[in-house]
Chain A
Amino acid sequence: MRNYEFIYIVSPEVEEEDLEGVTEKVGQMIADGGGQVMRLDPWGRRRLAYPIRKFHEGYYMVAQIQLEPGAISELGAKLGLTEEVIRYLLVRADERAGTATETAPVKEPSAEEEVKPHEEAAEDRGEVEPDEAPVGEEAAEDSEEEELEVDLGP
């Protein structure tokens, strides 16, 4: 048994009161594969970032499930035949735990710290918003281009 995060989108054509039927149906599919739904977190109706099967909205269902790895393909096949489920994503949940152990944050001299120790040290501890960073970068690139022109000019 393995833990998975299972997220699926239910078609907006499904009536609100029929949603439970769909979740039961999906739950049954998981049970058929020898798994079980540990937790179900319905996000409700949400706008899709792009249309799927010409739908612009869908009911998001986020479930923590346990499933036998061998049963995944079967589940996928069944979901493919399920009209109400327009998209799903199954991701290993303990993947997170795995990365957590491998990432020892501050103390350990991790790879990227070794690469740029001078930068780390010279820098004051100011917070850098990722949104602001590109501006600086572009400015720098602009000045580089300027220089290039000056170089070739005379």
Chain B
Amino acid sequence: MARDRRERPKRRGGWRFRRKKKCSFCVNKIDSVDYKDVAILRQYISNRGKIKPRRKTGVCARHQRRLALGIKRARHIALLPYTVEHAPGS
């Protein structure tokens, strides 16, 4: 129980450098995510081709849903990769 009394170390600037994030779709008033717009979609996939979590990108829930759909469509028509190839330069 001694542990309980011991003061927990104070958060040393816990969220330091963390900038408040804003849904860039809301900011730019884009309400639908176009699956043909590869330039935008690319910002929301990792370099392994995975859809980035909105905790990292700050996208709101509504736009994340649309974004995910857009990315999946773009993948289907080979505008975006499903994954990175293992053998480069094929």
Q: Which residues of A contact B (CB under 8 A)?
A: 7, 9, 48-52, 56, 58, 60, 62, 87-89, 91, 95-96, 99-100, 103, 105-106, 110-112, 119, 122-123, 126-134, 136-137, 139-140, 143-144, 147, 150-151
Contact = CB atoms under 8 A, between A and B. Distances in A.
Given A62-B36, A99-B32, A134-B57, A119 B12 contact: no
A150 B77 contact: no
B60 interface: yes
B5 to A, nearest CB: 13
A9 B15 CA distance: 47
A96 B32 contact: yes
B39 interface: no
B12 A143 contact: yes
Interface residues of B, number: 47
Contacts of A111: 61-62
Nearest to A131: B43
A137 B56 contact: yes
A10 to B, nearest CB: 12
Nearest to B66: A99
A78 to B, nearest CB: 18
Given A112-B26, A127-B27, 14 more contacts: A9-B78, A50-B78, A62-B36, A105-B26, A110-B62, A123-B20, A123-B22, A130-B57, A134-B52, A137-B18, A140-B14, A140-B15, A147-B12, A150-B9
B36 A133 contact: no
B82 A50 contact: yes
Contact of A130 (B12, B24, B31): B24
